[in-house]
Amino acid sequence: MEEPWDLVVVGAGPAGAAAALGGLAAAPGLRVLILDRASFPRDKACGDGISPDATTVLADLGLAGLLDDWAPVRRLELARGSHRVSRPMHRPVRVVPRLVLDDRLLGAAVGAGARFERHRVRTVVPRGDVVVVDDELAARVVVGADGAYSVIRRAAGAPAVRRRAIALRGYVPTTPRWAGRQIIAFDPDDTQAYAWCFDRGDGLANVGYGAFGRDGLTRTALLRRLGELLPGADDGADWRGHHLPLSSWRWTQPGGRLLLAGDAAGLINPMTGEGIHYAVTTGASAGRAAAAALLAGRPDTAGARHRAAVRRLLGRHLRHTAAAARLARAPAVLTAGLSAAARDQHVFDDLVDLGLGEGRLTPRVISGLARALVH
């Protein structure tokens, strides 16, 4: 076995690329290897929305302007039955296909000094002062960014994610009705499901239907509900289904040399299904934690460093999203949220931050919900 790599990142999506970038920014001399079973560019099922908070993280990694050639989307429309709110977002989002986003991020990581190899990781075993990958490679620290059914998560002994969502995504030509906006249509028959349509700005829209806390739904059933909630959105192509491991009250990261980021860490917003922001945030944190541990000569402390950093960044936010997701299961609360957002731009902004970034249940959101429920 050749000389151990300082850092091996399993998974080359946003979380993995951010981990490599974060590690190399903190310690440019690190030997970093990224492994993924796919070649790039490659497609990935996703809503494709890049939130302002995610863009800020990318800028902190030296990638300001990476997505500036994609049109900003400034309006968000939310609806459930006859209840509707349509307002401008105080910070725009961009809708960028993962075929483009992931390839650019991986290219940036390789440009910063990481090496990429196509390889499907099957076993990861801590052994002495290294981690052995598939009996072929050794690393001082490994970051698991390998998705919802992470090999690294199992190897680290982290508990299985208890709650998941299922979603189906496709692309359709953008109609004038959908242009320049993100649209979320909550299912009147299921408060934990919604259809979406996000204008990419290039003539196509990302559309789909997702159901939280449910499994076993067929593609036919998902497409039918999408077409009923957003007529015409089901007449698309490039359909891909995926499972989402939803975050909960408390986030778990074991100590040691195995670090988790993004979907592998069980970090998907349980209100909205947003995951790109969590991916780049926790990926960057994992890379920096690995670099700090390696520079200190204590790679075995990388997990504890990463755990402390993520809890500092997202701990309170995760508790608030878990509480909000549970409250929103009640139809009256979901409707009250739409009504409060329709009456007050500030409440709308706070709810957007809660669903797409690092926001919390602010006093004005709580008071707005209370007033709407009383009304």
**Predicted structure pTM score:** 0.96
Q: What is the pLDDT along the chain (375 residues), one digit of tens a residue?
A: 689 999 999 999 999 999 999 999 999 999 999 999 999 999 999 999 999 999 999 999 999 999 999 999 999 999 999 999 999 999 999 999 999 999 999 999 999 999 999 999 999 999 999 999 999 999 999 999 999 999 999 999 999 998 999 999 999 999 999 999 999 999 999 889 999 999 999 999 999 999 997 767 899 999 999 999 999 999 999 999 999 999 998 899 999 999 999 999 999 999 999 999 999 999 999 999 999 999 999 999 999 999 999 999 999 999 999 999 999 999 999 999 999 999 999 999 999 999 999 999 999 999 999 999 997
Q: How far is residue 169's CA from residue 146's CA, in Å, rounded to a whole number? A: 20
> Considering just the CA atoms, what is the radius of gyration of the chain in Å?
20
Q: Concatenate the DSSP letters of all residues of 60-101 into one string.
A: HTT-TTTTTTSPEEEEEEEEETTEEEEEEEEEEEEE--HHHH
> Where are the alpha helices (H) located in the chain, listed in sequence order?
14-26, 52-60, 98-111, 151-156, 219-229, 276-295, 302-327, 331-343, 345-356, 363-374
Q: What letter represents residue 81's amino acid?
A: G
Distance of alpha carbon 55 from its chain centroid, rounded? Answer: 13
Q: Concatenate the DSSP letters of all residues of 93-135 into one string.
A: EEE--HHHHHHHHHHHHHHTT-EEEE-----EEEETTEEEETT
